[in-house]
Amino acid sequence: MTLSESGAAHPLDQALVLAPLAPHRFSGQPHPAYANMVGPYGGITAAQMLQAVLQHPERLGEPVALTVNYAAALLDRPFEIEARPARTNRSTQHWTLLLRQPDEDGTDATVITATALTAVRRSTWSASDAPLPTDLARPQDVAPSGRPPQVRWPGRYDMRLITGHMPVTWDGSEADSLTRLWVRDEPPRALDFASLTALADVFYPRVWRRRALRTPAGTVSMTVYYHAGGAELAATGAGYLLAQARSQAFFNGFFDQSAELWNEAGHLLATTHQIVYFKE
């Protein structure tokens, strides 16, 4: 757990506290510092799902892939995560996960499903074919983005937008769907798999940018592929990541989003994809 100068745990580390209940079962809860308009920020929920794998006593290796399906709205009350190694091989391990919570009627219900892959990586030839965009302003030279007062989670990130701001006028004028920003935890915190996972969901809905229309929208499935090990994440420290996202298709109520996250040194740490519901 990362402690700030005041000695208090970082809000992310507070959110990641999961208590073992029984074999494969952990209890946790949404953290108010990561609250979204309704329920928690999806990125923090993805990080909590991964955390159940990370602290599982049978875990083999480090995260390579994670898919989180947001099946229903998570309520602001305790939940239980079940994380099971479905198949353990010599160097890879496949996980199935469920998050359950009593619904409004008090009935236990599945709210999140997920799968994950962890692996003991071996050193191989490596290369990146998606280089960090050139001619970027340095994070220090970009003004911090304003934060919407009615939502708490953006306050947990230091975001410095380079291109693709949220529309100022919601006038339905079409644009591209690209957003590019420097981002890190607020307060700063050394990068690890959990924080990288949370960052993978940091973009506002692409349809807002694309159409300048504030239609209701929400991620229904997110996949993260990790292209770094724990050592590379640790070396990134509390530095900024360049995060970039855009959509390829909007069709009858759902659109996709593909995104990349590089550290300042240019290592492509993660690629991530979503399918997102939108209303109109």
> Could you list the residues that contact a copy of itself (CB under 8 A)?
64-65, 67, 69, 71-72, 86-87, 89, 92, 94, 96, 98, 109-111, 113-115, 117, 119, 121-130, 174, 176-177, 210-211, 220-221, 223, 225, 227-229, 246-254, 256, 258, 260, 268, 271, 273, 275, 277-280
The minimum distance between CB 129 and a copy of itself, in angstroms, equals 6
The minimum distance between CB 215 and a copy of itself, in angstroms, equals 8
Residue 138 or 176 having the CB closest to a copy of itself: 176
Q: How far apart are CA 123 and CA 87, in angstroms?
A: 23
The minimum distance between CB 37 and a copy of itself, in angstroms, equals 19
Q: Which of 163, 162, 158, 156 is nearest to 142 (CA)?
A: 162
Residue 13 or 192 having the CB closest to a copy of itself: 192
Residue 4 or 128 having the CB closest to a copy of itself: 128
The minimum distance between CB 229 and a copy of itself, in angstroms, equals 7
> Which 3 state secondary structure label does DSSP give 184?
strand
Residue 147 or 273 having the CB closest to a copy of itself: 273
The minimum distance between CB 250 and a copy of itself, in angstroms, equals 5
Q: How far apart are CA 41 and CA 198, in angstroms?
A: 9
Beta-bridged to residue 97, according to DSSP, are 83, 114
Cα 226–Cα 230–Cα 233 angle in degrees, nearest 5: 75
CB-neighbour burial class of residue 183 (10 A; exposed 0-12, middle 13-18, buried 19+)? buried
Q: Is the omega angle on the peptide bond into residue 187 within 30 degrees of 0, that is, cis? A: yes
Residue 71 or 238 having the CB closest to a copy of itself: 71
Residue 86 or 151 having the CB closest to a copy of itself: 86
157 contacts 183 by C-beta, under 8 angstroms: yes
The minimum distance between CB 225 and a copy of itself, in angstroms, equals 5
Burial 198-233 (b: 16+ CB within 10 A, else e): bbbbbbbbbbbbbbbbeeebbbebbbbbbbbbeeeb
Q: How far is CA 227 from the centre of its chain?
A: 15
Residue 98 or 241 having the CB closest to a copy of itself: 98
Residue 204 or 277 having the CB closest to a copy of itself: 277
The minimum distance between CB 119 and a copy of itself, in angstroms, equals 7
Which residue is associated with the tokens 């006593």? Answer: 57
Q: How far is CA 126 from the centre of its chain?
A: 24
The minimum distance between CB 31 and a copy of itself, in angstroms, equals 23
Residues near 51 by beta carbon (within 8 Å), at least 6 away in sequence: 16, 18, 28, 194
